Amino acid sequence: MSSLNEGLAKVWETHRFTLISILSVMFVLAVWAFVTMFFTISALIIPSPTVFLAKLKEVFTQGYVGKSMFAHISSSVLRTSAGLLAAIALGIPIGLAAGYNKYISAIITPFTSFLRPIPPIAYIPLVILWFGIGEFSKVSLVFMGAFLYMTLNCSAGVRSVPRDLILVARNLGATERQLFFKVILPASLPFVVTGIKTATAISWSIIVAAELVAAQEGLGYMIMDAATFFRIPEVYVGIMIVGIIGFVLESIVRLLENKTCHWAGK
Amino acid sequence: MRENSNVRIELKNVTKVYRSEERNADVVALQNVSFEIKDKEIVSIVGPSGCGKSTIINIIAGFDTNGVTGEVLIDGARINKIGRDRVVVFQTHALFPWLRVRENIAFGLKIHGLEEKEITKKVKEFIESTNLTGFEEHYPYQLSGGMKQRVALARALINEPRILLMDEPFGALDAQTRLEMQENLLAICRQLHPTILLVTHDIEEAILLSNRILVLTPRPGKIKYKKPVNLPEPREYGVVTCDEFVSCKKELLSILHSYKK
Ligand SMILES: Nc1ncnc2c1ncn2[C@@H]1O[C@H](COP(=O)(O)OP(=O)(O)OP(=O)(O)O)[C@@H](O)[C@H]1O
Ligand SMILES: [Mg+2]
């Protein structure tokens, strides 16, 4: 009996924060089940867990409005990835260059400072006007939001490189090129990865918002369509899938971060 | 030009002004500083905080040439840029945090495209001489303060610089570790014989390690006093109790003390 107690104490000691998180989630789920079971709340406002799970199963087996769940999910994910990857591919070199060279910085800073406080969703009407409601307009919206964050983070990364590290490299005979690739680039990496992390989260929320406005498939479209036709359980299902995929995307970037920047901040 | 080939570093009337954007806010950090350091000599600079010790190191290293007047000569020739013949060891070790210990040490050799086999061999040698065996694969954040400073020392020395410029290299270490580092440095000097300019705020360290000590005045830094240290060679920690050491320490302390207002 006492050894069991000891075992439990040990589990608590090492995993207590994970356990607390699990309990916290279970508590909220329990409140949800309790509220929907004992109060007469219409499934049109908060569906009960059973209704929710049934809908979840239904949309995954039968799809939603004639398209499989896989089609909705993959079109949202593909749009996000296309815009995000383009933003990363362009944002890194431009951001690093702006951090490294004061002239380049002077050229782009007025624009980045002006655009930063504007939420990307505000461009939706413009983007539709310019590019129509096709794929390109959505991808370019994601690009606009993500690119700004990539650029800003990368240039901040270069400016944060400790002066001593640069002096050491110069002192030991590094050329400008070596200085950039062997010191400035690796030293800015944590900022670059933070940029990717922020840009990923932003891209995902932009795409869902964009699909709310104009799309024929995608998770945002599904949520909006379901709301329009009062299929509230499907709205909840859509929101939950958006959350889970966002979490997965973030975890992938965090994996990248742990692999490349384990030394940062220590 | 002077024909004394024995002189490695020479400063002639060096004055340094840090220019400021605002008017009348220029700072004169050094004023007419002149001294010579001979080949293989170890010279320390002591002086109150803010008197321009780091400034001297930065000027000789070639890190900062703005607002410098006077002449800085290395082996009789004016310096005009940073050089691998004079390597700086910083107080803040300045290790590359993303590189392992052996990669940090190899940095200078890699930059110069030395053969991989040659690099491995030399790195091993310097890891042994700085007592870092077993830590080759560690990252800087996994090391203690003393170890980090030994890596920084090895990273500098592996390039076989003729001049080592050290700016309070052991200042951030505890007394015990500092002692080990001082002995480590003395041992390495007996092998490689670099010329060393050492900035320190620790008078005992200055006396223990150097052949000569330069005392600076408060800002603007001028050389107040050049004190030769005649202690038996090779140096070892035992000398701290001998008469010469004690009288030297008294003398320096009284000078530095007179600066306090
Ligand atoms: N970049 C700078 N711009 C303006 N003034 C500076 C700059 N760097 C140093 N100074 C000034 O020059 C003087 C000398 O600085 P320095 O760093 O050489 O002093 P130090 O003797 O190394 O001091 P410490 O013992 O505290 O390290 C100081 O009074 C400082 O205020
Ligand atoms: Mg200093």
What is the domain partition of chain B in residue ranges? 1-85+165-261, 92-160
Measured between alpha carbons, how far is B87 from B19 in angstroms, rounded to an integer? 26
A171: chain B residues, CB-CB within 8 Å: 61, 63, 82, 84, 86-88
pLDDT, one tens digit per residue, over A167-207 is: 999 999 999 999 999 999 999 999 999 999 999 999 999 99
pLDDT, one tens digit per residue, over A116-166 is: 999 988 998 999 899 988 889 999 999 999 999 999 999 999 999 999 999
Q: Which pLDDT value is given to residue B1? A: 41
Half-sphere exposure of A162 (CA within 13 A, CB side): 13
Per-residue pLDDT of chain B in tens (261 residues, 90 and over written 9) = 444 568 889 999 999 999 888 777 888 999 999 999 999 899 999 998 889 999 999 999 999 888 899 999 998 888 878 989 999 999 888 999 999 999 999 999 999 999 999 999 999 999 998 889 999 999 999 999 889 999 999 999 999 999 999 999 888 788 888 888 888 888 888 888 899 999 998 898 999 999 999 999 888 888 888 888 888 777 877 777 888 888 888 888 888 888 765
Q: Which pLDDT value is given to residue B222? A: 84
Instruction: Say whether both A90 and A132 belong to one domain.
Output: yes
Instruction: Say whether both A10 and A76 belong to one domain.
Output: no
CATH value of B1-85+165-261 in 3.10.580.10, 3.40.190.150, 3.90.650.10, 3.40.50.300: 3.40.50.300
Mean pLDDT of A26-48: 87
Q: What is this model's ipTM?
A: 0.89
Answer whether residue A77 is part of any domain: yes
Mean pLDDT of A18-41: 91
Return the structure tokens found at B92: 């803040």
A10-19, A168-177, A233-242: the lowest-pLDDT one: A10-19
B96: chain A residues, CB-CB within 8 Å: 165, 168, 183, 186-187
The chain-wide mean pLDDT, for chain A, equals 92
Measured between alpha carbons, how far is A198 from A145 in angstroms, rounded to an integer? 10
A157: chain B residues, CB-CB within 8 Å: none
Instruction: Say whether both A3 and A62 belong to one domain.
Output: no
| Number of Cβ atoms within 10 Å of the Cβ of B35 | 17
The helix (run of H) or strand (run of E) holding residue A241 is helix A232-260
Domain that residue A14 falls in: 1-40
Ligand 1, pocket-test mutation among B14, B20, B51, B200, most atoms within 8 A of CB: B51
Residue type, position B242, single letter:
C
Cα–Cα distances in angstroms (integers) from residue B159 to residues A173, B37, B193, B255, in the given order: 10, 21, 13, 37
State if residue B66 touches ligand 1 by the CB under 6 angstroms criterion.
no
Convert A165-203 into a string of H (helix), E (strand) and C (coil). Answer: HHHHHHHCCCCHHHHHHHHHHHHHHHHHHHHHHHHHHHH
Answer whether residue A81 is part of any domain: yes
Nearest to B15 by CA among B79, B72, B69, B74: B69
- B230's CB contacts (< 8 A; 6+ apart) are B244
Answer whether residue A265 is part of any domain: no
Distance of CA B100 to the CA centre of its chain: 24
Cα–Cα distances in angstroms (integers) from residue A243 to residues A225, B69, B93, in the given order: 18, 64, 45
State if residue B192 touches ligand 1 by the CB under 6 angstroms criterion.
no
Touching check for A164 and chain B: CB below 8 Å?
yes
Restricting to B residues 101-130, those with a Cβ less than 8 Å away from any Cβ of A are: 107-108, 111-112
Touching check for B84 and chain A: CB below 8 Å?
yes
Ligand 1, pocket-test mutation among B14, B16, B17, B18, most atoms within 8 A of CB: B18
Instruction: Say whether both A13 and A86 belong to one domain.
Output: no
Nearest to B153 by CA among B225, B113, B104: B104
Question: Domain containing A87 — which CATH number?
Answer: 1.10.3720.10
Answer whether residue A72 is part of any domain: yes
Answer yes or no: are the C-beta atoms of A209 and A186 closer than 8 Å.
Answer: no
Instruction: Say whether both A56 and A19 belong to one domain.
Output: no
Instruction: Say whether both A144 and A125 belong to one domain.
Output: yes
pTM: 0.85
Answer yes or no: are the C-beta atoms of B101 and B111 closer than 8 Å.
Answer: no
Alpha carbon of A134: minimum distance to chain B alpha carbons (Å):
44
Kindly list the protein residues that place their beta carbon closer than 5 angstroms to ligand 2, a single-atom ion.
Answer: B 54
Nearest to A224 by CA among A15, A35, A65: A65
Instruction: Say whether both A135 and A33 belong to one domain.
Output: no
Answer whether residue A266 is part of any domain: no
Instruction: Measure B198 CA to ligand 1 centroid, in angstroms.
Output: 16
Instruction: Say whether both A15 and A132 belong to one domain.
Output: no
Q: Which pLDDT value is given to residue B3? A: 46
Measured between alpha carbons, how far is A160 from A264 in angstroms, rounded to an integer? 12
Instruction: Measure B153 CA to ligand 1 centroid, in angstroms.
Output: 24
Instruction: Measure B57 CA to ligand 2 centroid, in angstroms.
Output: 9
Q: Which pLDDT value is given to residue B179? A: 87
Alpha carbon of B27: minimum distance to chain A alpha carbons (Å):
21
Nearest CB among B88, B96, B112 relative to A165 is that of B96
Q: How many domains does chain A have?
A: 2
Touching check for A185 and chain B: CB below 8 Å?
no
Instruction: Say whether both A36 and A53 belong to one domain.
Output: no
pLDDT band at A1 (very low <50, low <70, confident <90, very high): low
Asked if the Cβ–Cβ distance from A164 to B94 is below 8 Å, we say yes
State if residue B256 touches ligand 1 by the CB under 6 angstroms criterion.
no
Give the whole-number percent of chain A exceeding pLDDT 90: 74
Q: Who wins on pLDDT, A125 or A43?
A: A125
Chain A CA closest to residue B90: A164
Instruction: Say whether both A15 and A119 belong to one domain.
Output: no
Measured between alpha carbons, how far is B190 from B212 in angstroms, rounded to an integer? 17
Cα–Cα distances in angstroms (integers) from residue A221 to residues A68, A212, A227, B7, in the given order: 13, 5, 10, 80
State if residue B16 touches ligand 1 by the CB under 6 angstroms criterion.
no
Answer whether residue A64 is part of any domain: yes
Instruction: Say whether both A123 and A169 belong to one domain.
Output: yes
